[in-house]
Every structure is written in C-alpha cells, then in structure tokens.
Chain A
Amino acid sequence: MGALFILRRGFGIMKENGPAHLLSIGTIAVAFFLFASFLLLPLNFASVLEAWEKKVQIILYLKDGIGEERIPPLTKELRMIAGISEVRYISQRAAKESFERDLAGYGGVLKGLKEGIFPASFEITVQERFRTPERIRTLAARLDTIKEVEEVQYGGVWLERLSLILYTLRWGVWVLGGVLVAIIVSVTANTVRLTLYNKRGEIEILKLVGATDAFVKLPFYLEGGLQGLVGAGGSILLLLILFHLFSCKVAPYLSFYFGQLRLSFLPPHMIAWILGIGVAAGLLGGLFSLRKAGGI
C-alpha cells in the first residue's frame, strides 16, 4: 500500500468535499486565531512586567532622629539580608538636593523648604532572582520589622496587580485552549462524518474486496489532520500579518503612553505546538467520526 496513494486519496477526498472543508478549515482557523492571540498577550505582557521588575527598588524611609553613627551598622545589616544586592543611603540633605534638582523649574516655590521634612532613606536594589512579587513582598515585610524603619515602599500593589493579570491570562489561555480544542475536534469530526457519508459506497466496496482497515481509514485520519494543520497554519499566518501591522502602525503611538514597547511574536516552539495541537485535534475528530460510523 503506497503512502503516496493514501496521501493522494486523502487530498482527493478533501477536494471532492471542497466547500465543507473550506468552511471547516475557516472555523478551525478562527478558533486557533483566538487561542494564538491569547498566547501572544501574556507573552508581551510578561516582557513588560519583566522590564518593570528589573527597575524594582525597595525604599526604606527612616524614622526621625536616627543618628548618622547608626547608618554604617544599618547598611552592613541590610547587606547581610538575603536577596539584597545593593544598599544606598540617602541622607535628609541629599534627599532635599535631589528634590530641588528634580523640580528645578519651580525655583521660587521651593524656597524656604527645610531639610527636616525630607526623611533619610535607604534605596535597596534586589537581587535578580528575588524580583518576583512574592519574594519582594516577603523581603519588604522583613525590612519593615527593623526598628529604625518608618515605612517601606516598593510599588508592590502595581506589581501584584500586573502579576495577577498575567497569571489570569496564562491560565485563561489554557482554559480557552481546552474549549477551542473541543470545538475543533467537533468541527473536524462533523466534516469527516459528512465525507464518510458521501463516500459510503466506495468504503463498502473497498471493505468487500479486502482492503485493510488502514487503507480505508487512513485517508479520513489524514483528512482530519490536514484540516487541523491548515486551519492552525492559517490562523498563525493571519496573526503574523496583524501583528506586523500592529507593530508598524499602532505600536509607535502606544509608546507615547507606555514607553518603548518591545513586542515579540510567538516563538517557534509555540508555533510548533499550535500546529501540533491542530493536527492532533483534527486526527481526534477523524477518530471520533470513524468510531461513530461503527461498521467502517
């Protein structure tokens, strides 16, 4: 039994039932387009979060009246804490100077501000592996227990919100993926069933003359698998075109609001997975319809 003949028969079957297959491939492509778009979102969102995480600093505002002699032992104590890579002391004077520098254009307004209203602080840089919302929160809680510390700031609320959205998106993708795979299996199964119905005469004859199960069934599996592959491939192509348009035409405007956006398309392994899921869902659809057809 020639593989080439089976392949030709598979394509022949698809050609004979052309409109139904086109409709089926279109539906699969739409389903995969949604799935791939939802994969793309957290992927780019994650890179934004990653960039933001790199900038994360913890600021420890010190209580009033902490003497300068406490700063070196406190600095040493902070450097000993796991997760801290750099500790920089900002005195009250340095804080006032920094404030004045930042608001230099408002010169007159700043006149008369006293050094005492700016609290001394430590700017703490966190080691890379500690730059996750959970670890930063834990570290901040620990730093808050130091008796000289008045307040700890780390922008944790935003970081946690972003992480939560990302987490929801990541899980949402798999839930959505599951639903879409079920849709794809059902669409493929119905198209293959329609083909089976149209080809029942040929199948009956093939079975009667002693064709093996593989010879009779393989073209239908092939039909399902090809539908899944072409549908998934088409969705990726469509997404790539839209992604390219978005990157060229829309992203430059968005960078005014969100800073330089570093957008990335689905990596090759993810594309391979989508194509693989397409083929597997199509094969499963073929399998279901052949099972339902029973006698075949």
Chain B
Amino acid sequence: MHEGTASSHPGLNAGGSMIQFFRVYKTYPGNIRALANISFKIEQGEFVFVTGPSGAGKTTLLKLIIRAERPDQGEIVVNKRNVARLRHSQIPALRREIGFVFQDFKLLNHKSVYDNIALVLRAVGHNKREIPKRVRQVLRVVGLEDWVLKQLPLKLSGGEQQRVAIARALLNTPAIILADEPTGNLDPDLTMEIMDLLEKVNALGTTVVVATHNTGLVAQYNKRTIPLYRGRVAA
C-alpha cells in the first residue's frame, strides 16, 4: 500500500466514498476515550449530520478527517487519501480539499473581511491578480455584497460573520465542507439561513458534514445522520 493513498484494507472500499472510517479508535492522554470502533461511509455529494451531546466525539471525528488528530487504530480514507498514513508534508494538500466552518467563526477580528479571505488565497498560493475577483465571487455565493469587504468582522451580525466564514471555507472549491456546530452561536432565523446556505453549497456537488448537538435542527432536514454517544456510533 502506498503512503497517503487509499488503503487496500479488506474493510475499505474507497470507490465512490468521499469519507470512510473503518474501526477507528482515538484516546487522548489521560486515557480519555474519544472514539471507539467507528466505521461509516459518506458518499460524494452527500449531506450528513454527525449528532450527539457534548463530549460524544463529534469534534474529534472532524479533526481526524482533516488530520488535526491521528487515530490510534483504524483507517480513514478521505477523497481517496489514507489520512492516517499521510506524511506531514502531504497534510496541506488534504486540507485544501476540505473547507472547515466553526461555531465561533474563527475570523481574524483585526483584519477586514477582504483580508480574512484573501489571506487564505495567498496562503495557498493563488495568483495575486486573481485574488480580488475570487474574493468577490465567493462572497456572492454566500449572499454577501461588496460593502462588507472593508468591514471588520465584529461590525457584522453573527449570521454575516458565519457567511464570511463559509465563504472562506469555499475558497479552495473544496470537495468537502466540515461544519462544527455552525449555528451554535446563531438565533433560529440565522440558523435557517446558514443551513440553507450549506444546502445550497451541497447542491453544487460539495459533500457536507455538519456536527451538531441540536436535535431540533436535525429533525428539520431530511438528511442522513451519524449519531455518536460516548465515542461510539449509537445503534
């Protein structure tokens, strides 16, 4: 098996799957078990909820997908890459295929919206001349207008800040969007707006994984769910 490419493990068949976990275990120092024996598949273009109460392992699961954490055991294949066996130098390439959206937006509050987005494009080596065009393009996708570009994030509403964060996640035209409690800081109206936006992104062909503890939200959307409870997939 080649390093970093999809595993030929008998349990894994990366074929049309975008994300595949096979018997994944993750324990943090202090013998804190975060995930145990996790196996699932998410197909290309699917919209999936990962649900469960706080401490169920949702965030750890997302971190394993982007190789912010490494599994103790098991195999993870993301977009035909064997994530568990990626070399350190191959991690940036994996992450450019994945957009990440956080509950707390993680915008740089001392930089303008434009700089928040442009920084990412510069970081991944986009042509300098194309950056302004690409920033405007992605802002339109998330329903924001040019006037926000010069604003500092804290001048915007929560919903607008999350839209900027989603715009940033979409910059690299990722195959996957991972959202960790993306509506956790938003009121119900803004929650619907952001969920609609994620659906729109999904409709464009991007695989979307939303981790949430909000069962009411999950109930409103007819999507597949991966329920976690104390680090295991709940039956």
Contact = CB atoms under 8 A, between A and B. Distances in A.
Interface of A: 1-2, 5, 16, 201-202, 204-213, 215-216
Given A209-B172, A210-B95, A215 B123 contact: yes
Given A201-B108, A210-B93, A5 B122 contact: yes
A197 B76 CA distance: 32
Contact of A208 (B100, B108, B128): B100
Contacts of A16: 110
A201 B119 CA distance: 13
B12 interface: no
B106 interface: yes
12 contacts: A1-B125, A2-B128, A205-B119, A205-B168, A206-B119, A209-B100, A209-B172, A210-B91, A210-B93, A210-B123, A211-B92, A212-B92
Contact of B95 (A1, A2, A5, A208): A208
B42 to A, nearest CB: 19
Given A5-B122, A205-B108, A205-B120, A210 B172 contact: yes
Given A2-B128, A202-B108, A211-B92, 4 more contacts: A1-B125, A208-B66, A210-B124, A212-B92
Contacts of B134: none
A16 B168 CA distance: 23
Contacts of B95: 207-210
A209 B172 CA distance: 8
A204 B89 CA distance: 17
Contacts of B128: 2, 5
B24 interface: no
Contacts of A208: 66, 68, 95, 100
Interface string B87-116: 011011111100010000010101000000
Contacts of B89: 213
Contacts of A201: 106, 108
Contacts of A5: 122, 128
Contacts of B211: none
B92 A210 contact: yes
A31 B89 CA distance: 38
B124 A211 contact: yes
7 nearest CB pairs, A to B:
A210-B96, A211-B123, A210-B95, A210-B92, A209-B120, A212-B92, A208-B100
Nearest to B106: A205
A2 B128 CA distance: 9
A5 B118 CA distance: 12
A2 B108 CA distance: 22
A236 B96 CA distance: 46
Contacts of B50: none
Contacts of B88: 213
Contacts of B91: 210
Contacts of B34: none
B177 interface: no
A204 B108 CA distance: 11
A259 to B, nearest CB: 63
Interface string B116-137: 0001101111001000000000
Contact of B94 (A205, A206, A210, A216): A210
A202 to B, nearest CB: 6
Contacts of B94: 210
User: Which of B100, B108, B124: most chain A CB closer than 10 A?
Assistant: B124
A223 B86 CA distance: 30
A202 B110 CA distance: 11
A5 B95 CA distance: 22
B41 to A, nearest CB: 24
A237 to B, nearest CB: 33
A206 B66 contact: no
B142 interface: no
B208 interface: no
A16 B108 CA distance: 13
A16 B123 CA distance: 19
A162 B95 CA distance: 66
B164 interface: no
Interface string B67-98: 01000000000000000000011011111100
A204 B68 CA distance: 10
Nearest to B93: A210
A209 B168 contact: yes
Given A2-B128, A201-B108, A212-B92, A206 B100 contact: no
